Structures are given as structure tokens and as C-alpha cells.
């Protein structure tokens, strides 16, 4: 166990003692104050510094690096003021990050909405502070978390009330209490309007709905952080949310790609559309989806126009239709048609799952906790929209979306692999692909993966094979080594698929192939794209 993890465990344990909320508030106050002092003139999305956080003698401390992740810079100063003014409710919690991993931590709540969280990884000796940006996350905790937060509020309220002198006469005491409440409420409203008016949007667009789900641990209760239910547009349609819209567009583009492939395989546009219409997935208005696909083709693929796509499809199947390479054309046709339609089937199922999940979230927002839990659990465990881990990985490749948000049972095990799949998918589709520093280690594991008959090894080996069709493993591995040396990110350029390493200060290095397969690093001038 590393120092950062021990530190978080000690803070969580302290929270269960009398005065533990004050200790946790001091902890969050220390880290936010340090962030305010570390800013300078910059406003990066991620900031790192080292510090020893001084806390009461019965809580173990350690000097560890702190990594701040800021989802909204308007919240930074506001969180510091909330800590100073003691308006945060502090409670231990578990935070599920984008990669699907769950860690213990401390959560700061304002009006029952999260604004700051502090967590630690078991593997890395580092604390992670997240301020804002909770829209796509889930906080997990046992049921004691919410009751602990309520108990803290109640205890602090009683302590405050006990310190005030009370009139002896009962009627006068009631009147005195009423005036105190009105005055306090008025002061609080004025103070919130004055102090926190500039951050109304990021706080007001989130609500929490606790629910018990089958996530591999039946003792966990999940609190979903959702956007406020969508409202109808002027055309009477509901606006799609996040991943729903992303999957809708990706499905439309994939249908256009598949349609052109089927045209070449079947010999006519009518035959291609008939094949799509015959698929047992209820695609609805195919022409309308193809129109959407054409609108987004250039932004989601390397094709600048549908004419380019048409020529590429003809070239792709030219040898197959002629029975070249020693193969019978009918045999190739039997295999090629399912290969063309399979991505459409998978993306449509993902699109259905996303619609179910977000519809359930809207519905659950008006229910009590028990009914909401049942509604959400039904959506997240719907058998008709189930996908295997391998199929979910294909969603990441085809749609550039992490499927752990829709199939949470895969999140803890494959969340980071799905992120790598998104990177590989963008390369395959021919658009700009960036690999963040946080995923360099996972990419190394992917290159070194061995067949072990586990879902993870199968995913890694499949991804490596797909990647090798566009970027050689040797070249990619070399880029990984350079990126780790300079603490940079890897970029594979749109269409050309040139591999470069980019450093945070703006320096860029191209990975080029020399004579006889040798690899070299070339520093790029600042103006070169």
C-alpha cells in the first residue's frame, strides 16, 4: 500500500470520528489553497505539485505529489470560499473515474451536489484532486455515506443552536426561533447570491440519484450524476444527450460506409439498402440515416467526400469480386457481407442501450430511491441490448465512445483498454488520434500482451492486430519510449497516419523510418502541422 492510499484511508477513517468532517474540510481546504497558490498566470486542465498536508496528530500524513484535475476554473476559487465559509458537506465516498476504476476518497458537496473530490490510486503514489467536471462520472459508496452527510448537518445544526441563548417564555422562544430562521435564511440567500452567483451553471445542471446496481458488489450503491432532464426543442423533439447523439451519428456514418461496401458486393444500391432493411434491428428510415452519415463523413473519417468513399469501396473489393488471389468470389462474398453489416448491428445495439439508459435516468429523477434503483437496474441489465466485452470494444473503435458508461460491468476491468480502443479506432478511421500520457503504460502492455485465454488478453491482442495494419508495432513501440522519456503525448495525424510525440511545452518530434527498417526521431519546427 502506498503513502497516498494510506493517507486517504486515514482521512476516511477520521471522518467516522467526532469532528471528522472538520478534518476532511481542512484537508480539502489545504489542497484547494495550495492550488490557488500554484496557479501563476496559467489555467491548465491538469496541474501537479508536491505537498505535505498538515492535519491533526491522529491522522497520518505524508509528502506526496498531488495532481489537480480542473473541470471548471470558475469553481476553483468558489470551492476555496466554500471551505473557508464552512458551507461544504464532507463525507467519505468512492469515485468511479472515466477509466472505470473505483477508488476511495473524500467528497465535498454543496447543496447535495459534488464540487470537489480527493482520491488516491493503489498503484501510484499520488493524490488526485478533482474540481468540477462530474457530469460523466459516478460516485459509489455504501448507504452510510448519505446518512453520514445528513448526520453531519444535523450535528452541526444542533451544536450551533445549543450555543445561542434561548428566551425562557415558550411563545417568545418560538417567535425568537422564527426570527432567527428568517434572518439566517435571508443572510444565506444574500451570501450565496454574492459569493456563488458566478458558478450557478456547473452546480445547477447536476443531480444525484442513488441506486443499487449489479456491479459485481451488491453492497455498493451508485449515485448517478446526470444532467437535468432534456426539454423539447421548437420542433417538438427531445435533444439527444452526450453519448446518445454520438452513437446516433457514428451509426449513421457506419451505415453509409457499409452501404457503399454492400453496393460493390451486391452490385447495386437497391440491393445494398434492401440488405440493410432486412437486418433484424429495426433501423427505420434508412435514407434519412444515410443523409446524416453524409453530413458527418468528413469529420469522422479520412474521406473528404462520398465520391472518395465510393472509389475506395470499389478498390477494396476489386480483387474479391474477380476471384483474385486464388479465392472463389462466392466464398469471399459469403464472408464479406456479414463483415460489412456487423458494425452496424453492434452500433445499433449500443445506440438502443444508450437510449434506454438515459430514458431511465430521466424517469428515475422523479422517483423515490427504491423505484429509481429498479428502473436504472433494468436499463443497465437489459438483455436485448447486451454486448460481450469484445463487442463493446468494437463500439469504442467504431464510435469513439467508451462503452463502460453503458455496460458498467466492464468498466473496472476494461475501462482503460476501451480508451486505447478509441485511440486505435480513430487511427483506423483516418482522423487525428491522441494518446494521453496516462495511457502510455497501458499501451506498452498492449504491445507485450500474450494469449492467456482471458477477455483482457483477447482484447489487447485484437487491438494490437488492428493497430499493426496502420502503424507498425515497432514504430509505435519506439514512439512510446520517446513519449515516456519526454513525458509527452503521441499523435497520429489524420489520413497520413504520421506518428509524432508532442511535449507540453510545444516541442514536437516525428518518428520516421530510416534505411533497412531503422527508426529515428526528428525534431519538428514550431510551424509544421
Quickly count: other Cβ atoms within 10 Å of residue 28's Cβ.
25
Please give the distance of CA 81 from its chain centroid, rounded to a whole number. Answer: 28
pTM for this model (two decimals) = 0.58
Cβ atoms of residues 365 and 209 within 8 Å: yes
- Helices and strands (DSSP H and E) totals, the chain: 17, 14
Residue, of 241 and 481, whose pLDDT is higher: 481
**Taking the CA of residue 28 as centre, how many other CA atoms within 13 Å lie in the half-sphere pointing to its CB?**
37
| Res 399: pLDDT | 92
Per-residue model confidence as pLDDT tens digits over 8-37: 888 887 877 777 888 888 888 888 887 777
Which of the residue ranges 97-106, 216-225, 271-280 has the most confident prediction, judged by mean pLDDT? 271-280
* Residue recorded with cell 417538438: 236
Helix (H, G, I), strand (E, B) or coil at 271: helix
Q: What distance in Å separates the CA atoms of residue 131 and residue 318, rounded to the nearest whole number?
A: 54
Q: How confident is the model at residue 119 (pLDDT cuts 50, 70, 90)?
A: confident
Q: How confident is the model at residue 393 (pLDDT cuts 50, 70, 90)?
A: very high
Q: How confident is the model at residue 176 (pLDDT cuts 50, 70, 90)?
A: confident
Q: Which long-range contacts (CB under 8 A, 24 or more apart) does 82-86 make?
A: 82/108, 82/110, 82/115, 82/196, 83/25, 83/28, 83/29, 83/32, 83/108, 84/29, 85/191, 85/195, 86/25
Q: What is the CA radius of gyration of the chain?
A: 27
Amino acid at each position: 500500500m502506498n503513502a497516498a492510499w494510506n493517507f486517504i484511508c486515514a482521512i476516511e477513517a477520521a471522518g467516522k470520528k467526532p469532528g471528522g468532517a472538520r478534518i476532511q474540510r481542512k484537508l480539502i481546504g489545504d489542497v484547494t489553497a495550495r492550488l490557488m497558490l500554484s496557479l501563476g498566470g496559467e489555467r491548465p486542465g491538469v496541474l501537479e505539485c508536491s505537498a505535505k498536508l498538515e492535519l491533526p496528530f491522529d491522522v497520518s500524513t505524508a509528502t506526496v505529489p498531488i495532481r489537480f484535475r480542473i473541470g471548471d476554473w470558475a469553481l476553483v476559487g468558489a470551492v476555496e470560499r466554500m471551505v473557508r465559509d464552512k458551507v461544504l458537506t464532507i463525507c467519505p465516498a468512492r469515485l468511479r473515474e472515466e477509466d472505470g476504476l473505483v477508488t476511495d476518497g473524500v467528497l465535498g458537496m454543496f447543496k447535495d451536489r459534488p464540487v470537489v473530490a480527493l482520491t488516491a490510486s493503489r498503484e501510484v503514489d499520488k493524490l488526485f484532486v478533482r474540481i468540477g467536471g462530474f457530469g460523466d462520472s459516478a460516485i459509489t459508496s455504501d448507504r452510510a455515506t448519505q446518512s453520514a452527510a445528513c448526520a453531519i448537518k444535523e450535528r452541526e445544526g444542533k451544536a450551533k443552536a445549543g450555543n445561542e441563548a434561548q428566551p425562557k417564555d415558550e411563545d417568545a422562544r418560538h417567535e425568537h426561533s422564527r426570527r432567527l430562521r428568517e434572518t439566517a435564511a435571508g443572510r444565506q440567500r444574500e451570501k450565496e447570491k454574492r459569493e456563488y452567483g458566478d458558478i450557478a451553471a456547473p452546480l445547477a445542471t447536476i443531480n444525484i440519484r442513488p441506486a443499487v446496481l449489479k456491479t459485481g458488489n451488491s453492497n455498493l450503491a451508485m449515485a448517478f450524476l446526470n444532467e437535468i432532464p432534456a426539454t423539447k426543442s421548437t420542433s417538438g423533439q427531445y435533444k439527444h444527450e452526450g453519448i446518445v447523439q454520438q452513437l446516433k451519428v457514428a451509426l449513421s456514418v457506419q451505415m453509409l460506409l457499409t452501404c457503399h461496401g454492400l453496393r460493390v458486393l451486391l452490385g447495386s444500391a437497391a440491393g445494398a439498402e434492401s440488405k440493410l432493411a432486412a437486418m433484424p434491428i429495426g433501423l427505420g428510415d434508412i435514407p434519412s440515416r444515410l443523409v446524416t452519415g453524409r453530413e458527418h463523413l468528413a469529420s469522422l473519417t479520412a474521406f473528404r467526400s462520398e465520391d472518395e468513399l465510393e472509389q475506395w469501396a470499389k478498390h477494396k473489393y476489386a480483387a474479391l469480386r474477380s476471384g483474385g488471389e486464388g479465392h472463389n468470389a462466392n466464398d469471399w462474398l459469403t464472408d464479406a457481407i456479414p463483415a460489412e453489416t456487423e458494425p452496424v448491428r453492434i452500433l445499433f445495439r449500443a445506440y438502443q442501450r444508450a437510449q434506454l439508459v438515459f430514458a431511465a435516468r430521466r424517469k428515475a429523477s422523479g422517483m423515490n430511491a427504491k423505484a429509481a434503483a429498479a428502473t436504472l437496474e433494468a436499463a443497465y441489465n437489459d438483455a436485448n441490448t447486451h454486448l460481450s466485452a469484445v463487442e463493446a470494444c468494437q463500439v469504442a473503435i467504431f464510435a469513439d465512445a467508451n462503452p463502460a458508461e453503458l455496460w458498467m460491468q466492464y468498466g473496472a476491468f476494461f475501462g482503460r483498454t476501451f480508451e486505447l480502443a478509441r485511440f486505435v479506432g480513430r487511427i483506423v478511421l483516418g482522423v487525428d488520434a491522441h494518446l494521453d500520457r496516462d495511457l502510455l503504460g497501458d499501451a506498452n502492455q498492449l504491445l507485450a500482451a500474450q494469449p492467456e485465454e482471458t477477455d483482457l488478453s483477447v482484447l489487447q491482442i485484437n487491438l494490437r492486430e488492428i493497430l499493426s495494419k496502420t502503424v507498425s508495432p515497432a514504430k509505435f513501440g519506439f514512439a512510446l519510449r520517446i513519449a515516456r522519456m519526454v513525458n509527452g503525448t503521441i499523435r497520429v495525424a489524420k489520413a497520413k497516419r504520421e506518428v509524432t510525440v508532442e511535449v507540453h511545452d510545444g516541442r514536437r518530434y516525428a518518428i520516421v523510418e530510416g534505411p533497412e527498417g531503422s527508426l529515428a526521431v526528428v525534431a519538428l519546427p514550431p510551424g509544421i502541422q
